[in-house]
Amino acid sequence: MAAGDPQTAPATVEVLTRDPDPAVRAAPARHPSLPQPRLTELLDDEELAYVAAANPALDSKVVRRLVTTQGQRK
Give CA–CA dist 48/5, Å, rounded: 19
CA angle 28/15/26 to nearest 5° reads 25
Tens of pLDDT, residues 16-66: 999 998 888 899 999 999 999 999 999 988 899 889 999 988 988 887 887
**What does the pLDDT read at residue 73?**
60
**What does the pLDDT read at residue 37?**
94
Model pTM?
0.79
